[in-house]
Amino acid sequence: MKRLIIFFFLLLPFFGIAQQNFGKKAVQINKDSLERHLSFPIEDNWLFREADSPGMASPDYNDDGWDVVNSQLYLQDDNKKPYYQFNSVGWFRYHFIADSSIVDVPLGLAIEQLGASEIYLDGENITTFGKIAGKNNSVYYNPQSIPFVFIIRDSGHHVLAVRYANYKAQKNEEVLNENFAGFRIEIGFPKNLITPVVNRTMAISFLLSLLCGIFLALAVSHLFMFLYNKVLKSNLYFSTFCISLAGFFIVPWLYSTVRNPAVQLFDHYTLPIITSAVSISLSGFVNELFSKSKKRFWAIATLGALMPFVFFVNSEIGLTGFFLVVGVVMLEAIVLIIWAIVRKIKGAWIIASGMLLFTLLIFFSTVYVTINGDINFGGDNIWESVLLLLAFLAIISLPVFMSLYLAWNFADINKQLAQNLKQVRDLSDKTIQQELEKNKIIAGQKEMLETEVANRTAEVVAQKEKIEKQHDELIIEKEKSDNLLLNILPEEVAEELKEKGYSEARLFSNVSVLFTDFVDFTGAAERMSAQELVDELHICFKTFDEIISKYKIEKIKTIGDAYLAVGGLPLTDADHAVNAVKAALDMLLFMKARKRELGDRSFHVRIGIHSGSVVAGIVGIKKFAYDIWGDTVNTAARMEQSSEAGKINLSEDTYKLVKDTFKCTFRGKIEAKNKGDLNMYYVEDIV
């Protein structure tokens, strides 16, 4: 039922991938293929084994004899039973061939799942979604196709391995009728993956929020009308009907925005109850207006109230029952409205017009989908935008016309009451009183007109002054927002974001990444109060900000007591490595002076620098931040971790760039975590 609602707003295209033999079944992926399509769904030809061993991530692991499956693990046979009763931890392996055209090019990987996963490329863990920690402690997370960026370093044969856990798969199938046990993965260029997801999410969220707002507004207004005149129970039924319709759109809104699978599956309980409430309230509405007999309504209400319980026990029987109840209610509404028109009941044509408009809009939408097939809302096709508008009008047409009828009926009753009261108040001296009132109005007409002109003139002047004041305030607020944006993002990135509304990630080939960290920070924190600790960090990081600004280095972020900056972006700088070392020396001088002045109330610092390539850009659409990714960042962190208090530790790549400017001491090969033995150098002084 959930997927029927979401499918109404979103139909995703599916692109196939050509195969070729490479020992095992392997897929050829190249730049032309990725540019020709938005993305490549990778679902078929996975090798699967329901077991758990760290060696299964290795590209050399022998997976001969593994089952060839669809990664979603929910395909059914003729008896409608899943091929796999997956209910624990398993490994999936996918063989593919990377063309040289996509080597060292940022690629995006998007996944949708109801469990937790660890993703490996050629044995290296490139990302993790959720937490795999046994049956009772695993944390499930659904990224909702938000892509992760990775890079393939060489062409040829590669293995994508996924360690996947879903201990709730069998329970989801038995209790919630959800037989999607695995995952869906697609690969493409990051911009081609991010843009459709963002467009779809924004379009769906806006449309669902708008529909919820409309129906809740109608519900509240007619609830007050019922409280004003409780004799008109049709307002109460209609208010319940609108609240139930709002629930229909809150559920898919939650499904499209949250990342917790438990919340996404909650619609199994809510949608049957909402469907029952819609059916009962609609039947009560038409019976209250156009039928004197209430026996039929109570029979439908009883059946509709029982259907959720039947659905929870047996979903197939319950779903059939829901279709039956909805069909009976719609047929009842049509018959009663037609019969009301035949009997010439005033205003019945208003609701009939709404039903006719609803039918026509649904008909045209269905014809379009039948002729054109799948659609992708949020694209550039004008006809799909028109179809989306027709669908929106179809959804609100019937409730709006029902509301118009109730409003007209309410106004008509008030009008009749007012006429009756007026007739009671009319006395034999009506004509005399009217003449006296007319003379009084004529006598004071001139004075009233002059007063009105003066008041209107004063209002216009006041409005003009208010508008001018608001204009000045808007200019000030714009300057504040521009300054705030420049404080968060580099100037070039901020200008691109204001001009285009987005900023594209970029690869920078030659940069120097600088990491600092305070030594024995925990011990210092124990010796200082919380306020002293925060104040000292603020002073140190503020001075670091001033130092890197002096050498044209871009601050990325602080992580606790760590400080991350990079030279050579967003504007390229041939002296990025030299400037990074100069900034590091200034930082050491400042921290040593600070330590001499404050003693235990300050910190020792260690610094690491590595040069190479990174990908930089903005991630997310809320609370966004400029960040960098790549192996260069990880290596710079290892340089800092391998440094000592009061020292600047350089990688060999950085040393080669600065050896003619600074005097350095070779430390030898030192083991770095996950990097093996690396040549490292301490900076001693300027040559």
Q: How confident is the model at residue 427 (pLDDT cuts 50, 70, 90)?
A: low
Within this chain, do residues 518 and 596 fall inside the same structural domain, yes or no?
yes
pLDDT at 188: 83
Q: How confident is the model at residue 359 (pLDDT cuts 50, 70, 90)?
A: low
CATH number, position 137:
2.60.120.260
pLDDT at 491: 66
Q: Which of 282-296, 357-371, 519-533, 606-620 has the lowest mean pLDDT?
A: 357-371
pLDDT in tens, 279-303: 888 888 788 877 777 788 888 888 8
Antiparallel, parallel or unpaired: β 648-651 and 625-629: unpaired
Measuring CA to CA, how many Å separate 621 from each of 142, 197, 493, 618, 678? 18, 11, 15, 9, 38
CATH number, position 347:
1.20.1070
Within this chain, do residues 645 and 528 fall inside the same structural domain, yes or no?
yes
Within this chain, do residues 159 and 221 fall inside the same structural domain, yes or no?
no
Q: From 455, 488, 521, give the residue that closes a domain.
A: 488
Q: Which of 149-153, 260-264, 290-294, 383-387 has the lowest mean pLDDT?
A: 383-387
Within this chain, do residues 518 and 645 fall inside the same structural domain, yes or no?
yes
CATH number, position 627:
3.30.70.1230
Is the pLDDT higher at 653 or at 443? 653
Q: How confident is the model at residue 605 (pLDDT cuts 50, 70, 90)?
A: very high
Supply the DSSP symbol for 78.
T
* Domain span including residue 63: 10-192
pLDDT in tens, 466-484: 877 777 777 777 666 665 6
Within this chain, do residues 202 and 182 fall inside the same structural domain, yes or no?
no
pLDDT in tens, 125-165: 999 999 999 888 999 988 876 788 899 988 889 999 999 99
Q: Which of 115-124, 509-518, 520-529 has the lowest mean pLDDT?
A: 520-529
Report d(CA 670, CA 663) in Å as an integer: 20
Q: How confident is the model at residue 633 (pLDDT cuts 50, 70, 90)?
A: very high
pTM for this entry: 0.47
Within this chain, do residues 215 and 138 fall inside the same structural domain, yes or no?
no
Domain annotation covers residue 264: yes
pLDDT at 362: 58
Q: Which of 17-31, 236-250, 433-447, 611-625 has the lowest mean pLDDT?
A: 17-31
Is the pLDDT score of 113 beyond 70? Answer: yes
Q: How confident is the model at residue 242 (pLDDT cuts 50, 70, 90)?
A: confident
Q: Which of 10-24, 589-603, 617-631, 666-680 has the lowest mean pLDDT?
A: 10-24
Work out the average pLDDT over 561-569.
Answer: 92
- Are the C-beta atoms of residues 646 and 520 closer than 8 Å to each other? no
Which residues, 6 or more positions from 73, have their beta carbon under 8 angstroms from its beta carbon?
48, 82, 83, 84, 86, 169, 180, 181, 182
pLDDT in tens, 181-237: 889 888 888 877 766 655 666 666 777 777 778 878 888 887 888 888 787 788 888
Work out the average pLDDT over 518-541.
Answer: 85
Q: How confident is the model at residue 1 (pLDDT cuts 50, 70, 90)?
A: very low
Within this chain, do residues 479 and 552 fall inside the same structural domain, yes or no?
no
Q: From 358, 381, 412, give the residue that closes a domain.
A: 412
Is the pLDDT higher at 346 or at 47? 47
Q: Containing H/E element for 511?
A: strand 506-519
pLDDT at 211: 77
Within this chain, do residues 319 and 458 fall inside the same structural domain, yes or no?
no
* pLDDT mean across residues, the chain: 79
Is the pLDDT higher at 169 or at 194? 169
- Quote the longest CA-to-CA distance of the chain: 117
Q: How confident is the model at residue 337 (pLDDT cuts 50, 70, 90)?
A: confident
Work out the average pLDDT over 85-99.
Answer: 88
Domain annotation covers residue 672: yes
Is the pLDDT higher at 372 or at 555? 555
Crossing angle, helix 267-290 and helix 2-9, to 10 degrees? 80
Work out the average pLDDT over 232-254.
Answer: 79
Q: Containing H/E element for 95?
A: strand 89-98
pLDDT in tens, 95-104: 988 888 888 8
Is the pLDDT score of 245 beyond 70? Answer: yes
Work out the average pLDDT over 415-436.
Answer: 71
Is the pLDDT score of 325 beyond 50? Answer: yes
pLDDT at 10: 32
Domain annotation covers residue 393: yes
Per DSSP, the three-state class of 215 is helix
Work out the average pLDDT over 610-625.
Answer: 81
pLDDT at 6: 36
CA atoms within 13 A on the CB side of 632: 24
Main-chain phi, psi angles of 439, to 5 degrees: -65, -40
Within this chain, do residues 237 and 129 fall inside the same structural domain, yes or no?
no
pLDDT at 230: 80
Q: From 155, 171, 192, give the residue that closes a domain.
A: 192
Domain annotation covers residue 40: yes
pLDDT at 560: 85
Work out the average pLDDT over 355-366.
Answer: 63
Domain annotation covers residue 448: yes
Domain annotation covers residue 418: no
Is the pLDDT higher at 52 or at 250? 52
Is the pLDDT higher at 138 or at 399? 138
Within this chain, do residues 451 and 394 fall inside the same structural domain, yes or no?
no
The tally of domains found in the chain comes to: 4
Which is it for the CA torsion 200, 203, 207, 213, positive or negative?
positive
Is the pLDDT score of 586 beyond 90? Answer: yes
Domain annotation covers residue 424: no
Quote the tokens at residue 552: 């044209």
pLDDT at 685: 79
Within this chain, do residues 404 and 273 fall inside the same structural domain, yes or no?
yes
Is the pLDDT higher at 673 or at 7? 673
Q: Which of 2-11, 350-359, 661-670 has the lowest mean pLDDT?
A: 2-11
Which residues, 6 or more positions from 71, have their beta carbon under 8 angstroms from its beta carbon?
42, 43, 44, 46, 92, 162, 182, 183, 184, 185
The percent of residues in the chain predicted with pLDDT above 90, rounded, is 23
Q: Which of 143-147, 160-164, 347-351, 364-368 has the lowest mean pLDDT?
A: 364-368
Domain annotation covers residue 421: no
pLDDT at 19: 36
Within this chain, do residues 590 and 608 fall inside the same structural domain, yes or no?
yes
Is the pLDDT score of 634 beyond 90? Answer: yes
